[in-house]
Amino acid sequence: GQNIDQPTEMTATEGAIVQINCTYQTSGFNGLFWYQQHAGEAPTFLSYNVLDGLEEKGRFSSFLSRSKGYSYLLLKELQMKDSASYLCAVRDFSNTGKLIFGQGTTLQVKP
Amino acid sequence: GAGVSQSPSNKVTEKGKDVELRCDPISGHTALYWYRQSLGQGLEFLIYFQGNSAPDKSGLPSDRFSAERTGGSVSTLTIQRTQQEDSAVYLCASSPGPASQETQYFGPGTRLLVL
């Protein structure tokens, strides 16, 4: 079966660092995506990992361990505008490229 | 150019009525996806179109759901005899193609409420 787990909610303080974890068990693996979704808006692409290791993009970094079925999204120097849902998604081996999503983690950044 | 657009942005309908949801993908993108996001749930894959190939309909929840893509561009998702459990946000996404590192670009969604 397909299973992707993320914490439902997290709270952090402005200026701090937060790590959002994602574990997955899927029948195939062809890359892992992180998306950001503000309330009432479309998901927007943050990062993509297909090989083990850390990908850094400004304040955001994403890590992948394929052997452990584990990824995390690291957000540094948190800003109020980072309050949003963060979606972890795995692409399977099918030639469709369809994504299997977790339920998303709602992050609230407090002053 | 413009991103993925969807219409209507909101739709309220009565149980048993049919609805049509429209998606305009990014120009030149050959792959198009429909997902559904129910309250408190993750995005659920519904259907996939790639060029002129037969669509992957494996995610459609029932035969009341159908979709088509005309001319390799605009897509319409149709829900017949709507039920209250169909209430959700329906998101469309497109990508240059299905493979490798190409991410999917999402539209703003259609919020469907079935009374």
pLDDT at B61 over 80: yes
A95: contact with B, CB 8 A cutoff: yes
**Please, which pLDDT band fits residue B71 given cuts at 50, 70 and 90?**
confident
Considering chain B, what percentage of its residues have pLDDT values greater than 70? 96
Q: Which of A22, A57, A98, A99 would you mutate first to test chain B, the one with the most B CBs within 10 A?
A: A98
| Residue B42's pLDDT band (cuts 50, 70, 90) | confident
pLDDT for the residue numbered B106: 94
SS (H, E, C) B29-89: CCEEEEEEECCCCCEEEEEEEECCCCCECCCCCCCCEEEEEHHHCCEEEEECCCCHHHCEE
Residue of chain A minimizing CA distance to B96? A97
Contact B4 A42 (CB under 8 A): yes
Q: Does the pLDDT of residue B99 top 70, yes or no?
A: no
Q: Do B95 and A96 touch (CB under 8 A)?
A: no
* pLDDT digit string, tens, across residues B44-58: 999 999 888 888 999
B49-77 in b/e burial notation, b at 16+ Cβ within 10 A?
bbeeeebbeebbeeeebebebeeeeebeb
What value does the mean pLDDT take over residues A72-92?
Answer: 95
B56 and A89 within 8 Å at the Cβ level: the answer is no
Count of A-B CB contacts under 8 Å: 60
Q: What is the dihedral of CA A61, A65, A69, A74, to 10 degrees?
A: -20
